[in-house]
Amino acid sequence: MTSSLDSLSRRAFIERLGGVGGTGLVMAGMSALGFGIESRAATPPSLSGGGGKKIVVLGSGVAGLTSAYELSKAGYDVTLLEARDRIGGRSYTARKGTKLTELGGEAQTCAFDEGHYINPGPWRIPYHHRGYLHYAKTFEVPMELFNNDNDHSYVYFAKGSGPLAGKAIRKQEIAADTRGYATEMLAKQVNQGALDQDFSKGDKELFLSYLRSEGYLTGKDFKYIGSEGRGWAVDRGAGLNPGVPSTPYALSDILQSDTWATLKSVSDFDQQRTMFQPVGGMDQLPAGFVRHLKPTIIHKSHVVEKISQDADKVQVHYVDGKGHRGVVTADYCICTIPLSVLRGIDIQVSDPFKKAVSGVSYAPVGKIGIQMKRRFWEEDHAIYGGHVYFDNPDIGSIALPSTGWLGNKGVLLGYYQFGANAAKISAKRLAERQAFAVAEGQKVFPQYAENAESAFSIAWHRVQYNLGGWAEWNTDNRRDSYPILNEPDGRIYLAGEHLSYLTGWQEGGIESAWQQIGKLHKRVHA
Amino acid sequence: MTSSLDSLSRRAFIERLGGVGGTGLVMAGMSALGFGIESRAATPPSLSGGGGKKIVVLGSGVAGLTSAYELSKAGYDVTLLEARDRIGGRSYTARKGTKLTELGGEAQTCAFDEGHYINPGPWRIPYHHRGYLHYAKTFEVPMELFNNDNDHSYVYFAKGSGPLAGKAIRKQEIAADTRGYATEMLAKQVNQGALDQDFSKGDKELFLSYLRSEGYLTGKDFKYIGSEGRGWAVDRGAGLNPGVPSTPYALSDILQSDTWATLKSVSDFDQQRTMFQPVGGMDQLPAGFVRHLKPTIIHKSHVVEKISQDADKVQVHYVDGKGHRGVVTADYCICTIPLSVLRGIDIQVSDPFKKAVSGVSYAPVGKIGIQMKRRFWEEDHAIYGGHVYFDNPDIGSIALPSTGWLGNKGVLLGYYQFGANAAKISAKRLAERQAFAVAEGQKVFPQYAENAESAFSIAWHRVQYNLGGWAEWNTDNRRDSYPILNEPDGRIYLAGEHLSYLTGWQEGGIESAWQQIGKLHKRVHA
């Protein structure tokens, strides 16, 4: 069912529905107005009767694999070309033997022990990424929890001042103290009547009860004097040990340390619990797709040189791993090549389309996995997974592994930077990247340097066939270029995380593929 | 090393250390003053040279298993008597075929599908339960994350008033809105200068920045107008779908619903992340102990009838599974039988000791596991693990399983009540308990009743050899009875969660065992 409303007035209408009837009515409105595939979908479009039409899919990241899987299931004749000698694109896992040579960089072979790995690309799956979870379920790819937030981990902020700057501080202490003092201040104001105009009588009492409960304030005079939630000076235990309470930090010390910047009333939507990872590495979902695709569909080591089209067909010119050139002729093309790479390929599209392809920035992103001889963060610091946040953007964060609990070794993420910081660190030689990451980690964990035994680093902006971590739209090209690229140019459809509002997430690639193959299918059957 | 300071002045001294030097100095002080085994320990006491002394251990919960394992490793000659025909005590897992008949109750056989289970006793392991994690590591019992807090789960509070009462509300919405409004109110007060006396100039600006960040307030005028963290009315997705923001609830509606009572600046210490569970069920740690104990040590189906002692020996009189009576004679006894049961056994101890054993309450506790035909909480509600909190204490909470993600069936915890509520529900017949739990769950999940296919319920206060969930000390008997029971009476040492400040947790049992066997060993070698 389609509507004659244009998308702007549809949106205004839907927002009005939201104001009147809440979320349920918005959902119904979305559906009734034919938003269908454009709204957030939890399952693939229902396709059937491909009738042997030939589709060439470019790229074997999750967008390409989703397209190939759904289209071939619906009866289309699919050929998938992948430039690399492996499938998965950024859905990638580095483990023993994984080789990578960045553009202009040194050759690197991962030397982690068997069973250890790092996911250098996407690494976590929020509960609302229902497309990803749909395929994990379909292909029986086992999932495990990813510990994205750990109360007992550290914050290491060095740029502020005062006694807490440049020290590893437990997150639970910052949360309890900052919020404790804030609720105390507000409770006193409310209690004194300073906000009486904001409350009915009953509400005021309820609000004070809320503040007392939220901030662990004293019953009578709403004082924050510390709380069990910030941890004990000595944990209570067996026998005659009731524990020794810990002492809160001074508010001024917290404020001057800037560590409060890690606190949010609720995590950002993309970072909330529940968060998952595939057991054994992020490449397990691509492997699941491959298990469900005819082996003749995927052609690895086929690098696209040129894409041409006319009124009847599309042609993809490639060079294969042996240097042989060839052409795939198809009825339609689903191209999931990142725009950062696509703009270097000879592609026969309209000028506005070509201009749109060229105008999007890609994020410089750097990560390093470091194998540690023992899990000192667990054994000596009682930190099991989660992140250590830095205010040094050259590090960003250290992430402790959410797998191999209580084991003998572990691979942690030693840095995660973006933009100019990623560009700067990526200019270092491999050994220097590792030395830098280790020196910074040492500031938090005294056991860091002595346990670091090997590393694998990646700078996505320097990786051939990626040239960046993900698309970064700005207001202008989101308005001007993005709608153009979401429509096919002739027989060529683009798909990928770059054609979504979930850039940098595999879910964006999957849902974009669903949307584009849905459009293509509708056209075939028009 | 021991000190001549009595424990009161030691504590005062330690608290003074804490004030001067922080946690590190407290820890050092604890150690220097010989607190040793009394402080929170992360590893078992170092024992050696048991020299064949004979120890009888009563009970095969984690306290009994810990005692038997460490003592036999140190060369003691250990005999463990267990009343039941299984080991583990409350560290227990109900799965296909598990039988339970409560005192005066109907016979119950668990009919869950293979691979599904419920942990009717302890079910989660906080990161600071280092004794438990020590044994999990030692015995290579695989651990997985327990999702103890899920932003996207529901709160179902029906006792308040207003439009949010008696409705399933997402936790992330309550958190974002309540805290958003609170930070807005406080920011406006601070901005108007109402709290200038509390801040230096620079701190005031930092505090306002904190409030803006914490509450997702607008940049200029510190208003809360909703946030991405509360979720979208329509999630953003691929193509031309930037998402539709959701609308915050009115503060008054939240206050009147009482749902704010679920918010805490930081989780209580015992409930914080990271939280674990053993893969496959809580009985996996007892199974690990058994793998590392000589098979001749453990005697199941041996019910203790009488414990006597004299200057040279202790004697435990039992009746075995065939009705035969016998006696174990030993040098010492470690008795981990719950006080609720021990007070019904003929035990030769001093009157004050006997009185102390008799005076402790045990918690009525009820749980029910319900197997569901499909995981509708995941598939239809995008809730993966975590709890749904009720303000009806007859239910307490529903907990969604942290295992079997994306599978086809699942066992959830249908209620978890305490005290009078547990006593009330436990009086129902098994079918009525299930019907009650299902009717309440139906209020949150429309798919609940149609998917419920079998249940296993337990009321610990009605279970023979437990007679309660855990010891509940009050101020008086913690002061008067507890120290008596922590010292041996003649040759009899008590151990268990009841002899700790971690009652109801396996860690209390483990650390209590460490403490008591440490004392015993010191005495043997005195």
Spacing of C-alpha A246 from chain mean position: 36
- Nearest CB to A130 within list B231, B261, B382: B382
Q: Which fold has domain A94-123+364-462?
A: Polyamine Oxidase; Chain A, domain 2 (3.90.660)
Distance CA B421, CA B408 (A): 33
Query: Is residue A362 a contact partner of residue A90, using CB atoms and an 8 Å limit?
Result: no
First CA to last CA distance, chain A: 14
Determine the Cα angle at A506 with ends A505 and A511, to 5°.
Answer: 105
- B239 HSE (CA, 13 A, CB side): 23
Q: Which amino acid is at A367?
A: K
Every domain of chain B with CATH number 3.50.50.60 lies at 49-87+284-360+472-524
Instruction: Give the helix/strand (H/E) hosting B510.
Output: helix B506-524
In tens, the pLDDT along B159-218 reads 999 999 999 999 999 999 999 999 999 999 999 999 999 998 799 999 999 999 999 999
3-state percent breakdown (helix, strand, coil) of chain A, nearest 5: 35, 20, 40
- The encoded tokens of residue A161 equal 């001042």
C-alpha B171/C-alpha B150 separation (Å) is 8
Cβ(B184)–Cβ(B224) under 8 Å?
yes
Mean pLDDT value of segment B263-288: 97
Shortest distance, CA B319 to any CA of chain A (angstroms):
31
Neighbours of B228 (CB within 10 A): 17
CA distances from residue B396 to B159, B365, B421, B465 in whole angstroms, order as listed: 13, 11, 9, 25
Check CB contact of A309 with chain B, cutoff 8 Å.
no
Inform me whether the C-beta atom of residue A216 falls under 8 Å from chain B C-beta atoms: yes
- Indicate the Cα dihedral angle B148, B149, B150, B151, nearest 10°: 180
**How many Cα atoms are found within 13 Å in the side-chain-facing hemisphere of B408?**
5
User: Which CATH code for domain A53-87+284-360+471-524?
Assistant: 3.50.50.60
Please indicate whether, in this complex, the C-beta atoms of B384 and A27 are within 8 angstroms of each other. Answer: no
Yes or no, beta carbons of A37 and B239 under 8 Å apart: yes
The label of the residue with tokens 């599978």 reads B407
Name the token pair of B392.
């009806």
Strand partners, B455: B370
Contacts of B267 in chain A (CB under 8 A): 151, 229
The helix-helix angle for B506-524 and B62-73 (nearest 10°) equals 30
Distance CA B385, CA B165 (A): 23
Q: What is the pLDDT of residue B41?
A: 66
Distance from CA of A334 to the nearest CA of B (A): 15
pLDDT score for A377: 98
Look at chain A and count its residues.
526
Say if the Cβ atoms of B386 and A234 lie within 8 Å: no
Tokens of A468: 């960046």
Query: CB-CB: which of B206, B274, B384 is closest to A386?
Result: B274
Q: Which residues of B touch A209 (CB under 8 A)?
A: 260-261
What is the Cα–Cα distance from A23 to A38, expressed in whole angstroms? 17
The number of C-alpha atoms within 13 Å of B525 and in the hemisphere containing its C-beta is 13
Task: Report the distance separating Cα B484 and Cα B351, nearest Å.
Answer: 11
Average pLDDT, chain A: 92
- Rounded CA-CA distance B503/B507 in Å is 9
Residues forming beta bridges with residue B109, ordered by sequence position:
B99
Contact in structure between B145 and B276 (CB atoms under 8 Å): yes
By the 8 A CB rule, do B239 and B81 touch?
no
Q: Where in chain B is the domain with CATH 3.90.660.10?
A: 94-123+364-462
Can you tell me the distance from the alpha carbon of A101 to that of A80, in angstroms, rounded to the nearest whole number?
24
Whether A266 contacts chain B with CB within 8 A: yes
Contact between residue A243 and residue A232 where contact means Cβ atoms under 8 Å apart = yes
pLDDT score for A52 = 86
pLDDT at residue B298 above 90?
yes
Instruction: Show residues of chain A in contact with B27, CB under 8 Å.
Output: 234
Tokens of A267: 């995590």
Task: Mention every residue, 6+ apart, whose C-beta is less than 8 A from residue B353.
Answer: B484, B485, B489
Q: Is the pLDDT of residue B265 over 60?
A: yes
Q: 3-state DSSP helix/strand/coil percent for chain B, to nearest 5?
A: 35, 20, 40
Q: Which residues of A touch B133 (CB under 8 A)?
A: 406
Residue A137 to residue B406, Cβ atoms within 8 A: yes
**Residues of chain B neighbouring A40 (CB-CB closer than 8 A):** 234-237, 241, 243
CB contact under 8 A, A264 and B26: no
In chain B, list all ranges with CATH 1.20.1440.240.
171-263
Q: Using the beta-carbon criterion (under 8 Å), do A35 and B241 form an inter-chain contact? A: yes
CB contact under 8 A, A127 and B383: yes
Amino acid at B264: K
Indicate the DSSP class of residue B428: S
Nearest CA-CA partner of B264 in A149, A261, A180: A180
Cβ of A273 within 8 Å of Cβ of B514? The answer is no
- A-chain CB neighbours of B402 within 8 Å are 145
Q: Exposure string (b/e) for A290-324, b if CB count within 10 Å is 16 or more?
A: beebeeebbbeebbbeebbbeeeebbbbbeeeeee
Could you tell me the fold of the domain covering B49-87+284-360+472-524? FAD/NAD(P)-binding domain (3.50.50)
Query: Please, is A164 exposed, middle or buried when counting C-beta atoms within 10 Å of its C-beta (0-12, 13-18, 19+)?
Result: buried
Q: Is the pLDDT of residue B488 over 80?
A: yes
- Cα–Cα dist B304/B314, whole Å: 13
Tokens for B21? 């030097």
Does this model's pTM top 0.95? Answer: no
Please give the ipTM for the structure prediction. 0.92
Instruction: Give B491's DSSP letter.
Output: T
Chain B residue numbers with beta carbons less than 8 Å from the beta carbon of A263 are 210, 213-214
Mean pLDDT of chain B: 92
CB contact under 8 A, A172 and B266: yes
- Give me B260's structure tokens: 């704010």
Q: Is the pLDDT of residue B74 over 50?
A: yes
Best of A33, A134, A157, A244 to mutate (most B CBs within 10 Å, chain B): A244
In sequence order, what are the beta bridge partners of A398?
A: A388
Buried b / exposed e over A171-180, threshold 16 CB at 10 Å, is bbbbbbbbbb
The CA distance from A472 to the nearest CA of chain B, in Å, is: 14
Write the class of the CATH domain A154-266: mainly alpha
Three-state SS string across B305-327, please?
EEEEECCCCEEEEEECCCCCEEE
Total residues found in chain B within this entry: 526
Distance of CA A411 to the CA centre of its chain: 19
Of residues B14, B18, B151, nearest to A267 (C-beta)? B151
CB interface of B with A, residues 65-84, below 8 Å: none
Average pLDDT over residues B57-71: 98
Q: Which two tokens stand for residue B188?
A: 């406006």
Q: Given a cut of 90, is residue B279 above it in pLDDT? A: yes
For A499, the closest chain B residue by CA position comes to B239
pLDDT at B184: 98
Closest residue, chain A, to B483 (C-alpha):
A240
Strand extents, DSSP E, A82-192: 94-95, 99-101, 107-109, 117-118, 125-126, 143-145, 154-157, 167-170
Nearest CB to A210; choose among B190, B227, B260: B260
Q: Which helix (H) or strand (E) holds B69?
A: helix B62-73
DSSP B235-251: ---BSS---EE--PPPH
Contact A256 B203 (CB under 8 A): yes
Mutation choice for B interface testing from A144, A146, A265 by most B CBs within 10 A: A265
Interchain proximity A263–B200, CB inside 8 Å:
no
Query: pLDDT (tens digit, 0 to 9) for every residue of chain A, 526 residues total?
Result: 233 333 334 444 444 444 433 343 344 334 434 333 334 667 899 998 878 899 999 999 999 999 999 999 999 999 999 999 999 999 999 999 999 999 999 999 999 999 999 999 999 999 999 999 999 999 999 999 999 999 999 999 999 999 999 999 999 999 999 999 999 999 999 999 999 999 988 999 999 999 999 999 999 899 999 999 999 999 999 999 999 999 999 999 999 999 999 999 999 999 999 999 999 999 999 999 999 999 999 999 999 999 999 999 999 999 999 999 999 999 999 999 999 999 999 999 999 999 999 999 999 999 999 999 999 999 999 999 999 999 999 999 999 999 999 999 999 999 999 999 999 999 999 999 999 999 999 999 999 999 999 999 999 999 999 999 999 999 999 999 999 999 999 999 999 999 999 999 999 999 999 999 999 999 999 8
Query: What is the rounded CA–CA span in Å between residue B495 and residue B499?
Result: 6
User: A505 in contact with B at a CB cutoff of 8 Å?
Assistant: no
B130 touches chain A (CB under 8 A): yes
Backbone angles phi, psi at B46, to 5 degrees: -85, 110
For the B171-263 domain, the top CATH level (class) is mainly alpha
Among B458, B282, B456, CA closest to B364: B458
Give span(s): CATH 1.20.1440.240, chain A.
154-266
Half-sphere exposure of B435 (CA within 13 A, CB side): 5
